[in-house]
Structure 1
Amino acid sequence: MNVTVREERPEDNIHVFVINNEAFGGAEEADLVERLRKSTSSAPGLSLVAEAKGKVIGHILFSKCQIIAEDESWEALVLAPVAVTPILHGRGIGGKLIQEGLKKAKALGYGAVIVLGEADYYPRFGFEKASKWEVKCPFEVPDECFMAQELKPGYLEGKAGTVRYPIEFQI
């Protein structure tokens, strides 16, 4: 299947909503995307879609977050959500979205990306346990599921703290 990844356009919004709704079995993630689009947390240029035969079949979104320490904070990105039309799962579309998104985030100058997800999936894209850098999730999750990736080598060194998700996540 010939899949291209490009920036989301306004006419893609309904397709992105449907994909997230179907992929996650409810509108929670689809509503999250809508809230993030309207917020200052949105990372410009980092809402991407996968397209095949002129049809949107996948979506990934990166938003700005903060790593908060006692007297300092640092900007990072959070990858969430990534969704693919369910009948097309297992064809590498989500992986292509992640790879292209990380490449674009790096080109835009971001230092790191945080993800909460499947421990056996995200490491293949370079994610490691965030605890390696003493970066913590703001709520209880298995250590192996809360991951980070440096886009700039050494960016997370000495930045121990807790991730503050955008308010739109309602976490």
Structure 2
Amino acid sequence: MITIREETAFDIQAREALLDRCFGERRFAKTSERLREGRMPAAGLALVAERDGAVVATVRLWNIDAGGHDALLLGPLAVSPDLHGEGLGKTMMREAIWRAACHGHGAVLLVGDAPYYARFGFSAEPMRDLAMPGPVERERFLGLELRPGALTGAAGVLSATGRLIEPLPAAALAA
């Protein structure tokens, strides 16, 4: 049985190992990473899927400013290669979108495979006047309005707005 739940501090090592397994070091070079660096995921929107005590999938959403509009950036989404083709990625996406809507967010943006994400309602249309803070293939820059009109008039370069990661106290570093 697979359980989807909010990520905890105890999941960090397993999540990072899964992301390394799925994407390798190239994940740190992606433009989307510039919007995540040094930030915390959006409250309640860092999810893991667990099976038999092991993290087998992860997805996180991040607070951003999309041309004067509050939005979320989704990513990365990763599923253990052992479970590819079993629908876990689809389940994680639906859960992330549902939770984002329940938390009152108006839009979710991402950079990804357009045919895959179209099944969830993502398209390039809402992104026409928006840009990432670095290179990205335009056809992979996608958005989904959770509330009609949430991105109306959005224009400009995305910027990070989420909480900064707080440094550990000196006493914790010395231990």
Counting only pairs closer than 5 Å after superposition, residues 52-91 of structure 1 correspond to structure 2 as: 52-68=51-67, 73-91=68-86
Cα deviation, 1:138-158, whole Å, max 9, x if unaligned, reads: 334332200000111111112
More relative contact order, 1 or 2 (CA 8 Å, 6+ apart) = 2
Task: Report the structure, 1 or 2, having the larger strand content.
Answer: 1
Evaluate the alpha carbon distance shift between residue 67 and residue 38 of structure 1 in structure 2; reply closer, same or farther with a 3 A threshold: closer
Structure with higher Rg: it is: 2
2:64 counterpart letter in structure 1? C
1:122 counterpart letter in structure 2? Y
**Shift in Å, 1:135:** 2.4
Counting only pairs closer than 5 Å after superposition, residues 15-164 of structure 1 correspond to structure 2 as: 15-26=14-25, 28=27, 39=39, 41-68=40-67, 73-131=68-126, 134-164=129-159
**Shift in Å, 1:37:** 9.0
Which sections of structure 1, spanning at least 5 residues, go unmatched? none
Quick one: percent identity of the two aligned structures?
A: 34
**Shift in Å, 1:60:** 0.4
Which sections of structure 2, spanning at least 5 residues, go unmatched? 165-175
Count of aligned residue pairs for this structure pair: 159
TM-score of the superposed pair, with normalisation by structure 2: 0.79
Cα deviation, 1:120-144, whole Å, max 9, x if unaligned, reads: 2111111010455522333343322
Evaluate the alpha carbon distance shift between residue 166 and residue 80 of structure 1 in structure 2; reply closer, same or farther with a 3 A threshold: farther
> Counterparts of 1:106 and 1:137 in 2: how far apart (Å)?
23
Conservation of the 8 A alpha-carbon contact between 2:126 and 2:144: no
- Partner-residue secondary structure (3-state), 1:121: helix
